[in-house]
């Protein structure tokens, strides 16, 4: 027992002596210059800090305050990295032999500014001795206490392990046109370790704006001397979030809200400057909400897509989902999605297929369309548009079929009611199979089918056909989705004859010119047109 007590006392004395001798073993001015020079050589940027002090507990360390790493001059004068407090731990065994060797480097709450210029170049491209000029601080003189710093070839090394806690990374993309895009990574906890020819890393972070967390595991960055951004990269990233609404608003704007929980796993490869990611993303319930002045209260309407999944990939600023699948009120949707961030955010939807979708859930409940119909929708086609101007740039072909179903939009019902009452001959023709009383309630039809081509927001059809027990209506012409301007030809066939009408103007102020057929040879065009003008007045009210 006496022997054990003696050993313990000797260890305590040794530790106390080492703590008391620490300020004598460390030449603080020389270490300050050594750290600044080593960091500047490693980063290829000037490095400065306000003060350096020796911390004794919990482990011997050099504490740095007010540290800044300079920005690439091509990107401005704001520091690339700012840090209130950092610690460089000292290896105790080396201190006891009179040398200073650095251990773990801890950066607490660093603020890192990542910037991508209009030419696609990042501000970190010059790290590691690139274009930025390095000017290290003047070498302080040797102090009077012990060894001034580490000796040998590894003297400039800042340890073999780096920890970042509660870090913030801001990403700014300075687009050639339009406002700059800004993102943030907050609560970044990252650990990097020197594994020989490669750095290994893992950590956690939160994407902002939004409530999406990312867990990084099995990270590896190969340092093969080709430059930091060209270093091969590998990692596994797990995403989880309760709501993506804030993140979606930052990407697409606040006009239309997109929210819901997300989860997924991505495999990251490529290089640090050009990473690639592939994996699966799942939105259990994706909500699309918008405020529509045309709707009765509540004016804010929500469309819910269930079980939205996509096989996602990211490469060279381009996001793809192949395929994307979702369910809506019993119907299904599949497509291949591509979204490019350049040129205002170009979005392409290929191989679009909609099956048995209750179209009234979109046209009535969500969009509150006055010409809405109800029934199962089958549609195939493709779309492309710019996120900055979707209605003005929407393009793509397709074909659709709705039915059997009903005409339920109030404006459509009033229009057909007016058609029935236009002129004695037309009224007599239609009222035989379509009683006037029916126009106060939905009208049944067998199908609405045809093909279309959209070019820069203008939809064109040549063969759209409405079929019911009472009549067939063929529609051909153009309709501008954004402005409502139209140039359409309607051919109404009741089995015993036809009525042809040409519709121009806009949806808010249409103009109709009737071309009578043999069925109406006993009725003057002026009589028919007078009745249709009365219809237009009803429609505008």
Which of 37-41, 270-274, 427-431, 505-509: highest mean pLDDT?
Answer: 270-274
Whether 173 has a pLDDT exceeding 50, the answer reads yes
Q: Are 308 and 293 in contact (CB under 8 A)?
A: no
Could you tell me if residue 104 is left (phi over 0), alpha (psi between -120 and 50 degrees) or otherwise beta? beta
Specify burial of residue 233 (Cβ count, 10 A radius: 0-12, 13-18, 19+).
Answer: buried
Span 471-497, pLDDT tens digits: 788 999 999 987 878 899 888 776 666
For residue 90, the cross-strand partners are 102
Span 174-197, pLDDT tens digits: 755 555 567 788 899 999 887 667
For residue 167, the cross-strand partners are 188
For residue 506, the cross-strand partners are 485
Per-residue pLDDT band for 345 (boundaries 50, 70, 90) equals: confident
For 115-154, b/e burial (b = at least 16 CB within 10 A) is bbbeeebbbbbbbbeeebeeeebeeeeeeeebbbbbeeee
For residue 104, the cross-strand partners are 161
DSSP-based three-state secondary structure for 393: helix
More confident residue, 211 or 135: 211
More confident residue, 21 or 148: 21
Instruction: Provide the pLDDT for residue 292.
Output: 81
Span 116-155, pLDDT tens digits: 887 778 888 777 654 433 333 333 333 333 333 333 333 3
What single-letter DSSP state applies at residue 232? B
**How many angstroms separate the CA atoms of 441 and 412, rounded?**
11
End-to-end CA distance of the chain: 104
Could you tell me if residue 95 is left (phi over 0), alpha (psi between -120 and 50 degrees) or otherwise beta? alpha
Instruction: Provide the pLDDT for residue 121.
Output: 80
* Tokens matching residue 386: 């710019």
N residues, the chain: 541
Per-residue pLDDT band for 532 (boundaries 50, 70, 90) equals: low
Strands 51-55, 47-48: pairing is: unpaired
Whether 172 has a pLDDT exceeding 90, the answer reads no
Span 43-100, pLDDT tens digits: 778 888 887 777 666 666 778 888 888 888 888 888 988 988 888 776 666 555 555 5
Query: What are φ and ψ of residue 52, in 5° steps?
Result: -135, 135
Instruction: Provide the pLDDT for residue 204.
Output: 95
Query: What are φ and ψ of residue 528, in 5° steps?
Result: -65, -45
Mean pLDDT of 194-214: 84
Per-residue pLDDT band for 434 (boundaries 50, 70, 90) equals: very low
Q: How many CA atoms lie within 13 A of 93 on its CB side?
A: 1
Per-residue pLDDT band for 452 (boundaries 50, 70, 90) equals: very high
What single-letter DSSP state applies at residue 179? P
Span 284-321, pLDDT tens digits: 888 888 888 878 888 888 899 999 999 999 988 789 99
For 324-347, b/e burial (b = at least 16 CB within 10 A) is bbbebbebebebbbbbbbeeebbb
For the chain, what percent of residues have pLDDT higher than 90?
27
Instruction: Provide the pLDDT for residue 138.
Output: 34
The H-assigned helical ranges of 26-74 are 28-43
Q: How many CA atoms lie within 13 A of 24 on its CB side?
A: 9
Instruction: Provide the pLDDT for residue 500.
Output: 78
pTM for the complete prediction?
0.72
Span 503-529, pLDDT tens digits: 888 776 777 777 655 444 555 556 555
Q: Are 122 and 114 in contact (CB under 8 A)?
A: yes
Instruction: Provide the pLDDT for residue 467.
Output: 92
Query: Average per-residue pLDDT in the chain?
Result: 76
**How many angstroms separate the CA atoms of 251 and 212, rounded?**
14
Per-residue pLDDT band for 259 (boundaries 50, 70, 90) equals: confident
């Amino acid at each position: 027992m006496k022997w054990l007590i003696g050993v313990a006392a000797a260890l305590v004395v040794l530790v106390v002596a080492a703590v008391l001798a620490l300020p004598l073993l460390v030449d603080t001015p020389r270490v300050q210059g050594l750290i600044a020079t080593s960091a500047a050589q490693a980063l290829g940027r000037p490095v400065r800090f306000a003060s350096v002090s020796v911390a004794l507990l919990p482990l011997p360390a050099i504490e740095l305050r007010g540290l800044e790493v300079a920005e690439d001059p091509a990107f401005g004068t704001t520091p690339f990295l700012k840090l209130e407090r950092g610690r460089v731990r000292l290896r105790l065994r080396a201190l006891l032999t009179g040398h200073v060797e650095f251990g773990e480097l801890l950066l607490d709450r660093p603020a890192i500014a990542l910037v991508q210029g209009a030419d696609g170049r990042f501000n970190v491209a010059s790290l590691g001795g690139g274009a930025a000029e390095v000017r290290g601080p003047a070498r302080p003189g040797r102090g009077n206490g012990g060894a001034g710093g580490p000796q040998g070839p590894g003297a400039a090394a800042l340890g073999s392990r780096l920890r970042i806690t509660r870090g913030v990374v801001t990403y700014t993309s300075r687009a050639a046109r339009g406002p700059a895009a800004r993102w943030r990574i907050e609560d970044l906890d990252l650990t990097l370790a020197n594994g020989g020819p490669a750095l290994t890393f893992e950590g956690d972070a939160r994407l902002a704006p939004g409530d999406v967390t990312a867990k990084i595991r099995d990270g590896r960055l190969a340092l093969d001397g080709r430059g930091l951004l060209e270093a091969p990269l590998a990692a596994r990233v797990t995403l989880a979030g309760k709501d993506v609404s804030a993140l979606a608003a930052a990407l697409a704007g606040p006009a239309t809200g997109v929210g819901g929980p997300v989860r997924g796993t991505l495999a990251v490869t490529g290089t640090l400057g050009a990473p690639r990611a592939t994996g699966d993303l799942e939105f259990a319930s994706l909500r699309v909400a918008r405020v529509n002045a045309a709707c009765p209260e509540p004016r804010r309407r929500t469309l819910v897509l269930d079980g939205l999944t996509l096989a996602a990939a990211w490469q060279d600023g381009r996001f793809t989902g192949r395929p994307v699948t979702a369910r809506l009120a019993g119907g299904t949707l599949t497509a291949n999605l591509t979204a490019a961030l350049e040129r205002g955010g170009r979005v392409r939807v290929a191989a679009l297929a909609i099956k048995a979708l209750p179209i009234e859930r979109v046209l009535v409940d969500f969009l509150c369309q006055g010409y809405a119909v109800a029934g199962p929708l089958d549609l195939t086609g493709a779309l492309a548009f710019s996120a900055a101007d979707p209605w003005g740039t929407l393009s793509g072909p397709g074909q659709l079929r709705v039915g059997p179903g009903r005409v339920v939009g109030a404006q459509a019902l009033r229009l057909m009611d007016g058609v029935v009452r236009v002129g004695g001959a037309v009224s007599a023709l239609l009222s035989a199979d379509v009683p006037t009383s029916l126009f106060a309630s939905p009208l049944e039809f067998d199908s609405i089918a045809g093909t279309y081509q959209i070019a820069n927001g203008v939809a064109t059809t040549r063969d759209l056909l409405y079929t019911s027990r009472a009549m067939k209506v063929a529609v051909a012409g153009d309709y501008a989705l954004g402005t409502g301007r139209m140039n359409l030809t309607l051919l109404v066939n009741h089995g015993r004859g036809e009525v042809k009408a040409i519709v121009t103007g806009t949806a808010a102020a249409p103009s109709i010119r009737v071309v009578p057929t043999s069925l109406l040879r006993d009725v003057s065009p002026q009589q028919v047109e007078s009745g249709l003008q009365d219809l237009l007045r009803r429609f505008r009210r």
